[in-house]
Structure 1
Amino acid sequence: MPEGHSIHRLARQFTSVFAGQQLSVSSPQGRFAAGAARLDGQALIAAEAHGKQLFLEFDNELFLRIHLGLYGAFDFGGDETFRRSSSIGAPRRVGEREIADDGGEPAYAGPPPPKGAVRVRLTSDHGWADLRGPTACEVLTPEEQRRVLEKLGPDPLQPRADPREFVRRLSARRTPIGLLLMNQEVLAGVGNVYRAEVLFRRLISPWRLARSITQEEALGLWNDIAGVMADGVAAGRIITTLPEHRVDASIPVPVSEAHYVYKRQGLPCRRCGTEVAMTEMAARKLYWCPSCQQT
């Protein structure tokens, strides 16, 4: 499932190619026909991400809320104004990155016929975006959008986010911190990769109860998550290792050097040499170092 940095990249991409333009909105698959009709012909005012949720605001005071989930993905295409646009979401092709190529594009002649089960197609005079397989896709009024946001925890990538709200939501829970970091009502945007990596970076056991996390530790978690997720927005991928912990100092960072513990079970910890462990926590794979992250 795409984590928060990908959805913020997606919001930036929508702003870049569609903001201020009148859009044709359709549902080639037919499952979103009624919702598409409410947005068709309206101009996109803004695109904003909050955690793993994308909100597209239109000038008729309606929002299109999208949660990609495990299988949702957007494809983009168009003229030279779409030159740096790329596919964002899952499933991904092997080796695919969230960075588009620059050259070799034919002249834009309008959107191609829809390919596959396209839930929503958004089209401007300059290009198009196709959405397939989202977990959620719905039209909301401003009040409905507000209620959705109220249920979500703060997003570390939002400039106006208050880390004290994260501390508050964390401090009263008798739940392992490894579970709460992925609870979108506590902290919006963190998924399995950032959960494992930041807990390692802060040397915190995934099994420590949240109420035992001090305010200083919680703010450290918040600041570290905000930093690595901002790096993810810039790079288009998750890189959490520091240069001094990499064997290969080449740039760009190879996949084998990008993470401390995520999918590294059985390999030596980059910090202490202990074998990285893997188990399940609430039906999700959890990676950690038994030595560095003692309870």
Structure 2
Amino acid sequence: MPEGNELHRWAKMQTEAFGGKKVRVEGPNGRFADAVLLDGRVLREVMAVGKHIGYDFGKDRKLHVHMGLYGDFTEGTGPAPEMRGALRLRISTKSDWLELRGPTDCSVWTDEQWEALKARLGPDPLNDDDPERGFQAILAKKTTSIGALLMDQTVFSGIGNIYRAEFLFRARVSPFRAGAQMTREELKAIWKDALKLMPEGMVDRRIVTTKPPDRPHSKGPALDEEVNYVYRRKGKPCFVCGTKIEMKVMAGRNLFWCPTCQAA
């Protein structure tokens, strides 16, 4: 599933390509019948909040997209290519086009629905939100683990499975610790880490969380196998202490952690 950094990158690029322009909106083969409600309108801007993207067409009409596990965009310049495959949505002008495949949701919303979504979601590091509401939600949870809470989009939005594992490792926090056992200082450190790492992930499309001194190859760009401390490294030695990384399912996704660096 794309994490918040990728959603914000898409929103920025698509605003640059289509913002303020009259666009063609198509839903081929009936896969998005409401495209007719947006076709020929001016797309004001593209916004991201958490793992959701909103396309503002004005006059109480917004296109809502949730990528889910398999959603992805294809983008290009010049004339749009022939439509192929399970294409849900195409937005185009004479100079630019984008295609959407595999989203969980692609539907026309009202402004009220969009604002209600924003109200339900927790603070988003990439929108420079105030994190206090998220801190309070975590500290109030006497039994729910911090590893599960970081995947709850009503606590913090935009943080997915990679960032969940990596933020906790970098903070040396056990993913099994109850939210109420977290200190405010630890939560502030995680938020500060998110403010640094998530914008960096928007730029290079790789989520790199390791520090050069901790990598096997400390010079030059991180190799693909050393971009993360624990994510997808089950059974491999921790870059910091050498303990084998462990994995279990938490909040419906595979969780990775170092049992030594993140001792309970």
- The TM-score by the shorter chain falls in which range? over 0.9
Give SS of 2:125's match: coil
d(CA) in 1 for partners of 2:137, 2:233: 31
Give SS of 2:30's match: coil
d(CA) in 2 for partners of 1:180, 1:154: 13
Q: Report Cα offsets for 1:152-211 as digits up to 9, x if no partner.
A: 11101102x001111112111130000010111111011111111110000000000001
Report how far residue 250 of structure 1 moved.
4.4
Give SS of 2:75's match: strand
Give unmatched runs, 5+ long, in structure 2: none
Mean CA deviation greater in 246-255 or 146-155: 246-255
d(CA) in 2 for partners of 1:283, 1:120: 28
d(CA) in 2 for partners of 1:283, 1:167: 22
d(CA) in 1 for partners of 2:26, 2:138: 41
Kept in 1: contact 2:212–2:219 (CA 8 A): no
Aligned: 1:273 with 2:242: yes
Give SS of 2:231's match: coil
Kept in 1: contact 2:151–2:161 (CA 8 A): yes
What fraction of aligned residue pairs are identical, expressed as a percent?
43
Aligned residue number for residue 251 of structure 1? 220
Give SS of 1:287's match: strand
d(CA) in 2 for partners of 1:152, 1:207: 23
Q: How many residues in Structure 1 have an aligned counterpart in Structure 2?
A: 263
Following TM superposition, the consecutive aligned residue runs of length 4 or more in structure 1 with deviations greater than 6 angstroms are: none
Kept in 2: contact 1:119–1:130 (CA 8 A): yes
Aligned residue number for residue 26 of structure 1? 26
How does 1:2-21 map onto structure 2 within 5 Å?
2-21=2-21
Report how far residue 271 of structure 1 moved.
1.2
TM-score under structure 1 normalisation?
0.86
Q: CA RMSD in A?
A: 1.2
d(CA) in 1 for partners of 2:136, 2:225: 36
- Match 1:163 to one of 120, 131, 146: 131
Report how far residue 148 of structure 1 moved.
1.0
- Match 2:252 to one of 268, 279, 283: 283
Report how far residue 281 of structure 1 moved.
1.6
- Match 2:172 to one of 199, 203, 206: 203
Report how far residue 57 of structure 1 moved.
0.7
Give unmatched runs, 5+ long, in structure 1: 80-109
Report how far residue 286 of structure 1 moved.
1.0
Aligned residue number for residue 205 of structure 2? 236
Paired letter, 2:135: V
Return closer, same or farther for 1:226/1:29 CA change in 2, 3 Å cut-off: farther
